[in-house]
């Protein structure tokens, strides 16, 4: 009886999952493995091997990877600094970090386009200071830049959470036993924040890999990511089978990267634990 | 036990989904699908106020996007405005409903010339009501561009404008530029010619600032680029905002297009749709729309009411000798369409 009650509590979520996750996935799988006339076919999935699609996938992986690395390099020291501050100012800084997320993500991308354009605010300022202009709009650099800007909080917060959870006693004990700062960092802090790092990596890498709006708006239509190819297949070419087939391939990449990461982070304590 | 619960919940989820499908059908609505920035928003409010019909209005970017939205079938559109070749494709697929011109008496305000133009895709003028027409050309900034050279598409391949060129983010429009530069028809299906055009566009890509449709105008007004491939009306409007801008239709020829309204098969409120079309032909409404989108209007009353300077504005109202040099887009067969799409993707992914 107790078991039944518990299951009923999960009801709304199961309903949600069935309607908005399982069902759509099945539809994607159906479209992905059939032709327009409804016959079984592997062509949509294997078309990832076409040079255009492969190039887009490689570029997506490359940009997502650079975005993740940059986020990690920025976030880790930041989380450490945050953690060493007084708890009152910690709350304020975390708040400031989350503040931009109150605004819609599309609006922020559009704002960056205006800021970065040839006669935009940034270039006018640089020009006024007689510095060379920043010419990154409509290049992959601008796409990575905006991805970092958008996804940075998703890296900072889990790392910061994991770090805040380390008991000061542990570090004191290590010091008592004669460990130097470097040893403490590598033997205690890094292993204990690993779960946060891994959640952070997943939460940055996966959306970066699948994004298409950022590359569309800041890449000037010149940066073709796999997300753009899929979007074009659906919206431009009216070829849902191809779009679904490529989505299946992308899903495999996403699941593989999550599995790879999770196999390293079983200790728990991260956002997904 | 757990399995049965899961199963029951699954069924529930499915059934609640299907319940959403049988939407209530209210008689007092009108669902419209139109290009972006292609109607004075106030016109919709005025129509709602005058008739009590609630307008559900949706926009799209390229005709291909429209085709997908319509074909997806999620929304029953009553009225769609799109371009010549796409209407022709839909008429051929038997997706258009005949208009009852008896309910659109004000259509007499439209110049017969443009009904004749429409005959190229709607031979008996049964399905469509012309809305606006124009050409495609180069919108350029006089301060940044050598004006003696803008009479040719060649200028879009000129190295000295590297990073200052905006191309159209639309398959047919971008290919049109390359095809016309090569002296081919913009409806060519010949694979060698297509490849040649593709190579030209790939060669051009390093010079391109960005590929845009509706935003090209804004970028040009802000002087972020030196020239852009745009529709004539967009150029007309941009000229109003920035006096350094000018427009040219290159001598190699270009695309003459005409956008028109039609009722798709999904239409549930055909009477409302015809009422709306009649409303659009009314002089004051047609004027508001003209003033907002700034494309050439087929409405004689509106054109006559404009001051002569505007009537003689060749950017907005392309003269006959330019139109004679232009070609109308035709729908392509499925295989050629696929090739166009693939080649376009290759251009977009080229370095």
Convert the pLDDT of each residue in B198-226 to its tens digit: 999 999 999 999 999 888 999 999 999 99
A50: left (phi over 0), alpha (psi -120 to 50) or beta: beta
- Torsions phi, psi for B25 (to 5 deg): -110, 100
Please name which of A153, A164, A158, A193 lies closest in space to residue A81, comparing C-alpha atoms. Answer: A164
pLDDT at B1: 46
Distance of residue B211 Cα from the nearest chain A Cα, in angstroms: 5
* CA A41 remoteness from chain centre: 32
Question: Which uninterrupted H or E stretch holds B262?
Answer: strand B256-264
Structure confidence at residue A8 (pLDDT): 81
List of residues 6+ apart from B205 with CB closer than 8 A: A222, B347, B350, B351
* A and B: number of Cβ contacts within 8 A: 87
Element (DSSP H or E) covering residue B96: strand B96-97
Average of per-residue pLDDT values in chain B: 90
Which of B332, B349, B351 has the highest number of chain A CBs within 10 A, making it the mutation to test binding with A?
Answer: B349
Confidence class for position A119, pLDDT limits 50, 70, 90: confident
How distant is the Cα of A181 from the closest Cα of chain B, in angstroms? Answer: 47
A138 contacts B9? CB cut-off 8 A: no
**A124 touches B: beta carbon within 8 Å:** no
Q: What is the pLDDT of residue A270?
A: 44
What tokens does A71 get?
Answer: 């986020």
Cross-chain CB nearest to A221 (options B12, B163, B210): B210
Cβ contacts of B62 on chain A, cutoff 8 Å: 236
A62: contact with B, CB 8 A cutoff: no
Which residue from A250, A125, A235 is spatially nearest to B65, judged by alpha carbons? A235
Summarised one tens digit per residue, pLDDT across range B101-155 is: 999 999 999 999 889 889 989 999 999 999 999 999 999 999 999 999 999 999 9
- Least confident residue range of A70-84, A88-102, B15-29, B288-302: B15-29
Our separate counts of H helices and E strands in chain A read 15, 0
Whether residue B299 has pLDDT greater than 60: yes
Closest approach of B338 to chain A, Cα-based (Å)? 8
- Own/partner long-range contacts of B144-147 (Cβ < 8 Å, ≥24 apart): B144/B223, B144/B226, B144/B227, B145/B226, B145/B227, B147/B246
Measured CA angle at B83 (ends B78, B88), to 5 deg = 80
Q: Are the beta carbons of B64 and A238 separated by less than 8 Å?
A: yes
* Lowest-confidence segment of A7-21, A196-210, B32-46, B69-83 by average pLDDT: A7-21
Interval B142-193: pLDDT, tens? 999 999 999 999 999 999 999 999 999 999 999 999 999 999 999 999 999 9
Q: Which residues pair with B175 in a beta bridge?
A: none
B25 vs B269: CA distance, rounded Å:
10
Interface probe with B: pick from A17, A222, A232, most Cβ of B within 10 Å: A222
- pLDDT surpassing 80 at residue A271: no
Q: Suggest the residue from B64, B68, B173, B334 to mutate for an interface test with chain A (most A CBs closer than 10 A).
A: B68
Contact criterion met (CB below 8 Å) for B130 and B114: yes
- Look at B210 and A232 and tell me if their CB atoms are within 8 Å: no
Task: Out of A96-100, A224-228, B74-78, B169-173, pick the least confident.
Answer: A96-100
In this model, does residue A38 exceed pLDDT 90? Answer: no
CA A250, A251, A253: angle at the middle one, nearest 5?
65
**What CA–CA distances, in Å, run from B27 to A57, B7, B80, B271?**
48, 39, 18, 10
Higher pLDDT, A5 or B191: B191
pLDDT of residue A134: 85
Q: Specify the pTM.
A: 0.85
Q: What ipTM does this complex have? A: 0.85
Interchain proximity B348–A228, CB inside 8 Å: yes
Residue A17 dihedral angles phi and psi, to the nearest 5°: -65, -45
Q: Does B59 touch chain A (CB under 8 A)?
A: no
* Section A169-182 average pLDDT: 92
- Are the CB atoms for B98 and B246 separated by under 8 Å? no
Look at residue A1 in the predicted model and tell me its pLDDT: 58
Could you tell me the pLDDT band of residue B22, with boundaries at 50, 70 and 90?
A: very low
- Spatial distance between the Cα atoms of B257 and B292, rounded to a whole number of angstroms: 19
Report the range of poorest mean pLDDT among A254-268, B78-92, B333-347.
A254-268
- Phi and psi, residue B137, nearest 5°: -160, -165
Q: Is the pLDDT of residue B60 over 90?
A: yes
Average pLDDT over residues B62-76: 91
User: What pLDDT score does B227 carry?
Assistant: 96
- How does pLDDT run across A53-94, given as a tens digit for each residue? 999 999 999 999 999 999 999 999 999 999 888 888 888 888
pLDDT at res. B233: 85
* Higher-pLDDT residue of B299, A266: B299
Q: What is the pLDDT of residue B20?
A: 47
What letters, b where the CB count within 10 A reaches 16 and e where it falls short, cover B123-155? eebebbbbbbbbbbbbbbbeeebeeeebebbeb
């Amino acid at each position: 009886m107790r078991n039944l009650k518990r299951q009923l509590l999960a009801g709304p979520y199961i309903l949600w999952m069935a309607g908005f996750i399982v069902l759509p996935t099945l539809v994607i799988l159906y479209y992905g493995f059939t032709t327009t006339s409804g016959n079984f076919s592997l062509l949509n999935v294997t078309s990832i091997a076409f040079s255009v699609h492969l190039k887009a996938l490689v570029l997506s992986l490359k940009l997502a990877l650079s975005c993740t690395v940059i986020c990690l390099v920025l976030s880790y020291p930041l989380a450490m600094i945050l953690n060493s501050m007084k708890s009152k100012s910690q709350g304020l800084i975390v708040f400031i970090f989350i503040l931009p997320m109150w605004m819609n993500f599309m609006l922020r991308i559009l704002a960056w386009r205006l800021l970065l354009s040839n006669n935009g605010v940034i270039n006018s300022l640089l020009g006024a200071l007689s510095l060379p202009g920043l010419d990154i709009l409509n290049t992959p650099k601008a796409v990575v830049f905006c991805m970092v800007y958008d996804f940075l909080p998703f890296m900072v917060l889990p790392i910061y959470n994991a770090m805040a959870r380390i008991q000061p006693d542990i570090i004191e004990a290590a010091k008592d036993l004669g460990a130097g700062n470097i040893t403490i960092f590598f033997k205690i802090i890094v292993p204990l924040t690993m779960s946060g790092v891994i959640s952070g990596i997943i939460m940055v890498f996966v959306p970066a890999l699948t994004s298409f709006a950022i590359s569309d708006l800041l890449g000037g239509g010149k940066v073709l990511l796999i997300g753009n190819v899929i979007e074009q297949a659906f919206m431009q070419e009216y070829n849902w089978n191809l779009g679904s087939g490529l989505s299946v391939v992308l899903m495999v990449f996403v699941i593989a990267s999550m599995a790879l990461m999770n196999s390293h982070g079983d200790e728990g304590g991260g956002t997904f634990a | 036990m757990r399995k049965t619960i899961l199963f029951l919940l699954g069924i529930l989820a499915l059934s609640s989904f299907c319940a959403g499908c049988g939407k209530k059908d209210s008689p007092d609505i009108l669902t419209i699908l139109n290009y972006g920035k292609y109607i004075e928003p106030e016109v919709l409010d005025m129509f709602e106020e005058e008739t009590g019909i609630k307008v559900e209005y949706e926009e799209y970017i390229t005709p291909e996007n429209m085709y997908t939205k319509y074909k997806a079938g999620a929304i029953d559109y009553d009225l769609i405005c799109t371009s010549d070749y796409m209407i022709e494709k839909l008429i051929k697929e038997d997706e258009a409903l005949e208009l009852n011109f008896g309910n659109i008496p004000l259509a007499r305000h439209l110049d017969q010339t443009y009904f004749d133009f429409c005959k190229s895709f709607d031979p008996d003028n049964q399905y469509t009501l012309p809305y606006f027409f124009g050409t495609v050309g180069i919108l350029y900034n006089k301060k940044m561009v050598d004006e003696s050279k803008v009479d040719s598409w060649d200028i879009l391949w000129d190295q000295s404008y590297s990073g200052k060129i905006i191309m159209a983010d639309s398959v047919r429009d971008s290919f049109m530029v390359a095809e016309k530069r090569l002296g081919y028809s913009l409806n060519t299906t010949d694979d060698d010619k297509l490849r040649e055009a593709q190579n030209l566009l790939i060669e051009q890509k390093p010079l391109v600032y960005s590929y845009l449709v509706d935003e090209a105008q804004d970028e040009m007004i802000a002087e972020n680029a030196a020239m852009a491939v745009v529709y004539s009306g967009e150029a007309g409007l941009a000229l109003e905002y920035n006096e350094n801008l000018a427009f040219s239709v290159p001598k190699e020829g270009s695309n003459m297009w005409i956008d028109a309204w039609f009722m798709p098969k999904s239409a549930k409120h055909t009477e409302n749709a015809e009422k709306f079309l009649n409303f659009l032909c009314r002089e004051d409404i047609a004027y508001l729309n003209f003033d907002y989108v700034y494309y050439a209007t087929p409405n004689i009353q509106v054109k006559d009411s404009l001051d002569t300077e505007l009537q003689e504005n060749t950017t907005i109202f392309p003269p006959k000798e330019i139109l004679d040099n232009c070609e109308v887009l035709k729908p392509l067969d499925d295989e050629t369409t696929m090739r166009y799409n693939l080649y376009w993707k290759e251009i977009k992914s080229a370095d």
